[in-house]
Chain A
Amino acid sequence: MSAQPKTPDVEQPSIEDRLYTVKYEDPGESHLDVKLPGICEEKCVTQDCVSVCPANVWRMEGDDGVPTIAYENCLECGSCRWACQHGNVVWEYPENGSGVSYKYG
């Protein structure tokens, strides 16, 4: 049973293509932040905010150990808030309904 039949191709969209399908209104400022950058830098070795995010919002780009936050990618799923074991994610809703608007959901 483990023999591989020819499997049809499926689309594997880039995260940019995925996010392009979602209607978005920019709140103008980030609704996400870290409480204390020092905790990301010194205490955190796992960067779970980065691993859990389905929208590539949290990124380890610099070498200071503090994630950068592309808040305008955020799908408002909330997962980073639970993922961070240091309680270091500041999470608010974007104001007045801005942010994502799903059409289908």
Chain B
Amino acid sequence: MSTDAQSGEDAGVEPEPEESEGPPMPQSTSETPSYDGEFDAIVVGAGLAGSAAALTMAEEGLDVIMLERGNSPGTKNVFGGIMFTPRIRELTDFEDAPKQRFVAQKTFSMLSEEGDATEVSMQPAAWKEEPHNDSWMVLRGDFDEWFAEQAVDAGATLITETTVTDLVREKGAIAGVETDRPDGRLHAPTVVLAEGANSLVSEGAGLAESQQRTDVAVSAKEVRKYDRETIEDRFHLTDEEGAAMHYFGDGAVGDAVGGGFIYTNKRTLSIGVVYSIEDAVHDERSPDEVLDDFKSHPAVAPLVTGGRMIEYSAHAIPEGGPDAMPDLVHDGAVITGDAAGLVLNNGLHLEGTNMAVESGYQAGKAVADAVASGRTDAAALSAYEEAMNDSWVIDNLNHYGWFLDAAAEDKEFLFDDLPRAIADAETDYFRMNDEPKTRHTKSARKRLVGAMGGYLGAAKKAWKYRKLFS
């Protein structure tokens, strides 16, 4: 790894506006906090959920302090990815946000290990119109910094390079946090836990249980730099249009529940793999090798060849669904975002950014009401849990909660047999020879039905996965 003085960027490269450092963070300091008892709420983590909560509470007039372990918000964070922005757009002047491209085109491809690929591609005209279906490719380094700045502008205090190590309890209720700063204990009537997937504080304080490894995914990602024209030519893009490409099957991540992705930024591609830790420990390849194999697939290599790797990264994703969620509300504390397991990953959707922001916003509103009422016990904070239960967040998680379990059960069929059967069926169906097309169709059908375990098996599978499309 390079030392502190070097960053991934070589010297002498032309300046890139998209990737420039943001303005210095106002009020940001790494001095020892001396704010004990000064605040209505402490936010643990200045990621998406944390900044949404801090912004909401500051706008409601609360004195808020955000503690972030990175030296700037975003420096510890990694995602794919697409930022889903319905709530952020309401909360901020979103035109000013550092964005890359909007999603103009989405593809889903099934890859076999042998090199076959079957792709479904969509580009609804509506996505090209404002607000672009609220789906923007971003890079977290500058996006998270900007979002935290919106909270600071609204009046929140941000302290960086400070890790929360534990919660402080008084008479059973949570009453503040311990940090790794000298004299770093801070008291406040409420704590918003927005610490992300690796929720050491919530777990350490007994508010959440550690997840099973079947319910957490590992990811490995690289950001590669190209000419803007190369990206626009390869993916058929103009202006701010972007492409979000998703890949499944054993040509993407081996015999594992998960997938690969390519997202187009302005001058970089985000290329990565995400798959269950349970599968990762059984794969002979390490995640970086899985990433290399994915990049080398004949359907992927032409899109990613060339360029220069400017960053490698890795991060975990909680994907246990509704069953793995901790209680959202406690005496003096609420849990938001990834720390609360609020991620939807069902193959077609990988959504955590919108859920993190929505939960931070709802938590912020509930905390503001509780503080105003002078009571911050679990009952007083329960409006947060109620708002979440009534929202699309929990609705979506419940609707798709079954998917990853079903996919794990049918792993071989879905990610190994099916991609090959589809490729073979396509080969038969479109075959050019002197046989009549009816015969091609018949043998194509036979291959597909065979892979699904006969007509009865096909009917059962169709029934099992029907909710993905309903």
Give chain A's interface residues, CB within 8 Å of chain B. Answer: 1-2, 4-5, 7-13, 15, 17-25, 46, 48, 51-56, 72-73, 75-79, 81-83, 85, 91-93, 95-97, 99-105
Within 8 Å by CB of A8, from B19, B216, B292, B302, lies B302
Q: Hey, which chain A residues are within 8 Å of B75, CB to CB?
A: 97, 100-103, 105
Q: Pull 7 A–B residue pairs with CB atoms less than 8 Å apart, ordered by A.
A: A9-B301, A10-B301, A24-B3, A85-B213, A93-B180, A97-B71, A102-B74
User: Which B residues touch A76, using CB under 8 A?
Assistant: 76, 198
State A72–B1 Cα separation when bound (angstroms).
8
A3: min CB distance to chain B, Å: 8
State whether the Cβ of B79 lies closer than 8 Å to any Cβ in chain A: yes
Contact A13 B309 (CB under 8 A): yes
Whether A21 pairs with B309 at a CB distance below 8 angstroms is yes
| CA of A20 to CA of B223, assembled, Å | 13
B438 to chain A, nearest CB (A): 21
Q: How far is the CA of A76 from the CA of B69 in the complex (A)?
A: 12
| Residue in contact with A79 in the complex, picked from B144, B216, B297, B304, CB distance below 8 Å | B216
* Cα of A93 to Cα of B71 in the assembled complex, Å: 13
Interface readout for B1-17 with A: 1 if CB under 8 Å, 0 if not?
Answer: 11110111100000000
Contact A103 B311 (CB under 8 A): yes
B209 to chain A, nearest CB (A): 12
Which of B213, B302, B315 sits near A83, CB closer than 8 Å? B213
A82–B139 CB distance below 8 A: no
Also in contact, A96 and B287, with CB within 8 A (given A1-B426, A105-B140)? no
The verdict on B280 contacting chain A, using a C-beta distance below 8 Å, is yes
B387 interface hit (Cβ, 8 Å) = no
The answer for the CA separation of A20 and B9 in the assembled complex, in Å, is: 10
Q: Say whether B223 contacts A104, CB under 8 Å.
A: yes
Cβ contacts B270-304/A at 8 Å (1 or 0 each): 10000001001111101110001001111001101
Give the most central of B211, B280, B426: most A CB within 10 Å. B280
B232 interfacial contact with A, CB 8 Å: no
User: Are A51 and B283 closer than 8 Å at their CB atoms?
Assistant: yes
CA distance in complex: A9, B292 (Å) = 11
| CB-based contact A79/B309 at 8 Å | no
Is B162 among interface residues, defined by CB-CB distance under 8 A?
yes
- The answer to whether B280 touches A51, judged by C-beta atoms less than 8 angstroms apart, is yes
Residue B313 contacts which of A10, A20, A22, A93 (CB distance < 8 angstroms)?
A22
* Interface pair A1/B78, CB less than 8 Å apart: no
Instruction: Say yes or no: is B160 at the interface (Cβ < 8 Å to chain A).
Output: yes
CA distance A5 to B115 in the complex (A): 9
Q: Tell me which residues across on chain B come within 8 A of A54, comparing CB atoms.
A: 218-220, 286-288, 314
Check: B181 CB closer than 8 A to any chain A CB. yes
The B interface, classified by DSSP as helix, strand, loop or mixed, is loop
Give bound CA distance, A101 to B77, whole Å: 9
A10 engages B277 (CB within 8 Å) = no
Interface hits, B299-340 → A, CB 8 Å: 301-302, 304-305, 307, 309-316
Contact A77 B1 (CB under 8 A): no
Contact A83 B281 (CB under 8 A): yes
B309's contact among A11, A25, A73, by CB below 8 Å, is which? A11
Interface residues of B (CB under 8 A from A): 1-4, 6-9, 19, 30, 68-72, 74-79, 112, 114-116, 139-141, 144, 160-163, 180-181, 197-198, 200, 210-213, 216, 218-220, 222-223, 268, 270, 277, 280-284, 286-288, 292, 295-298, 301-302, 304-305, 307, 309-316, 423-424, 426-427
Cβ of A99 to closest chain B Cβ, rounded Å:
8
Bound: A99/B74 CA distance, A: 14
Give the CA-CA distance A51 to B219 in the complex, in Å: 13
B77 touches A102 (CB 8 A): yes
Are A52's CB and B280's CB within 8 A? yes
Distance in Å: Cβ of B470 to nearest Cβ of chain A: 31
> Which residues from A are CB-within-8-Å of B200?
91-93
- Shortest distance in angstroms between A67's beta carbon and chain B's nearest beta carbon? 14
Q: A10-B296, A72-B1, A93-B69 are in contact. Are A104 and B310 (CB under 8 A)?
A: yes
B302 neighbours in A (Cβ, 8 Å): 7-8
Chain B nearest CB: distance from A6 CB in Å? 9
Given the interface pairs A7-B301, A96-B181, A102-B311, the reply to whether A73 lies near B280 with Cβ below 8 Å is: no
Q: A1-B423, A82-B277, A83-B281 are in contact. Are A18 and B216 (CB under 8 A)?
A: no
Which A residue's beta carbon lies closest to that of B285? A51
7 closest Cβ pairs, A-B complex: A105-B140, A97-B161, A78-B198, A18-B312, A54-B287, A21-B8, A48-B281
Would A82 and B216 count as touching, CB distance under 8 A?
yes
Residue among A2, A12, A46, A91 making CB contact with B296, cutoff 8 Å: A12
Contact A104 B140 (CB under 8 A): yes
Q: Are B115 and A4 in contact (CB under 8 A)?
A: yes
- Residues of the B chain whose Cβ atoms lie less than 8 Å from the Cβ of A15: 286, 288
Q: Which residues of B contact A83 (CB under 8 A)?
A: 213, 277, 280-281
Q: Which of A72, A100, A105 contacts B79 (CB 8 A)?
A: A105
- How long is the Cα–Cα vector from A51 to B279 in the complex, in angstroms? 10
Known: A7-B296, A10-B301, A103-B7. A78 touches B197 (CB 8 A): yes
